Amino acid sequence: MMTVTLHAEALVIGHHGRPLRPAFDLQLRPGRVTALLGNNGSGKTTLLRTLSGLLAPLSGRVLLSGREVHGMAGRERARQLAVVMAHRPRAGLMRAEDVVRLGRLPWSAGRFRSDPDDAARVQHAMKQTRTLAMLGRAFNELSDGEAQRVLIARALAQDAPVLLLDEPTAYLDVSQRAALMQLLRTIAREQALTVLMATHDLQQALDSADEVFILGRDGAHFHGAPGDAVESGAIASAFAVDGLRFDPVQRVFRPVE
């Protein structure tokens, strides 16, 4: 798998010509997991959709190792970027294994071509995400947490060097969240993946991510190590709530005494 750098240059995101935030730059490095943080409405999902090529930027550009994402053909882009959005797609009568096999489409000539290499990659992705036991189950009958793990397996089976995820731990229990974060960090390092994940789980992001990118208030941005985000006050500022204060030692919000 090739090493790819994802770079946003003077990027302005928004909808229908209305910007959500001022222009900003962002460069993500291979081998690292970056947590995308911000309040509801700050633009996390819009940013992920823009970086993935699903939504055009209002201005600026998104580059994959120097090539513009929005100028790539769909199949070529899918070979470079794997995306897991927060919504659960409709899968008809497809089994969990069939959904994961969809991740091989950018590399396959046919929809479900019988290829030993594709089959091996699907099996490996399902093993990594602990979904092998769901192999023959109907996707629509899975719980939200099970379905989320299958969708992550599909993204891993895609073998793209950049992985973008929107709230990947939203439906997972505590132990599964920790296991997923450990998996993402492991594969990022071992395969030189560039991983960006939007999350509302502030504690886990600060404890487990290599870097954080914060969409703060009034157009403010912060990109750096979790510890620096805490010490600089970026976390306290971005998530400030009347009557609460951020405890930088325990990394939680507490009532003001």
For the segment 172-214, what is each residue's pLDDT rounded down to a tens digit?
A: 888 888 999 999 999 999 999 999 999 999 999 999 999 999 9
Place of tokens 């946003």: 8
Q: What percent of the chain has pLDDT over 70?
A: 97
Q: What percent of the chain has pLDDT over 90?
A: 77
Residue 216 in this model has a pLDDT that exceeds 90: yes
Q: What's the pLDDT score for residue 109?
A: 65
Q: What's the pLDDT score for residue 252?
A: 86
Q: What's the pLDDT score for residue 86?
A: 83
Kindly indicate the confidence band of residue 65, based on its pLDDT and cuts at 50, 70 and 90: confident
Is the model more confident about 112 or about 211? 211
Residue 110 in this model has a pLDDT that exceeds 60: no
Query: Would you state the structure tokens that stand for residue 157, as one six-digit string?
Result: 């089976």
CB-based contacts of 11: which residues, under 8 Å, 6+ apart?
Answer: 23, 24, 25, 26, 50, 57, 59, 60, 61, 62
Kindly indicate the confidence band of residue 4, based on its pLDDT and cuts at 50, 70 and 90: confident
Instruction: Of 37-46, 209-218, 225-234, 243-252, give the lowest mean pLDDT range.
Output: 243-252
CB 196 within 8 A of CB 164: yes
Most confident among 83-87, 91-95, 195-199 (mean pLDDT): 195-199
Q: What's the pLDDT score for residue 13?
A: 97
Kindly indicate the confidence band of residue 112, based on its pLDDT and cuts at 50, 70 and 90: low
Backbone φ and ψ for 44, nearest 5 degrees, come out as -60, -50
Q: What's the pLDDT score for residue 256?
A: 87
Global pTM reads: 0.93
CB-based contacts of 242: which residues, under 8 Å, 6+ apart?
Answer: none
Section 70-91 average pLDDT: 90
Backbone φ and ψ for 127, nearest 5 degrees, come out as -65, -45
Alpha carbon distance 122, 134 (integer Å): 13
Averaged pLDDT score across all residues of the chain: 92
For 52-74, give the DSSP string.
Answer: TTSS--SEEEEEETTEEGGGS-H
Residue 156 in this model has a pLDDT that exceeds 90: yes
Q: Which residues pair with 163 in a beta bridge?
A: 82, 195
| Cβ-based neighbour number of residue 248 at 10 Å | 13
Alpha carbon distance 148, 85 (integer Å): 10
Backbone φ and ψ for 43, nearest 5 degrees, come out as 110, 15
For the segment 7-34, what is each residue's pLDDT rounded down to a tens digit?
A: 999 999 999 999 999 999 999 999 999 9
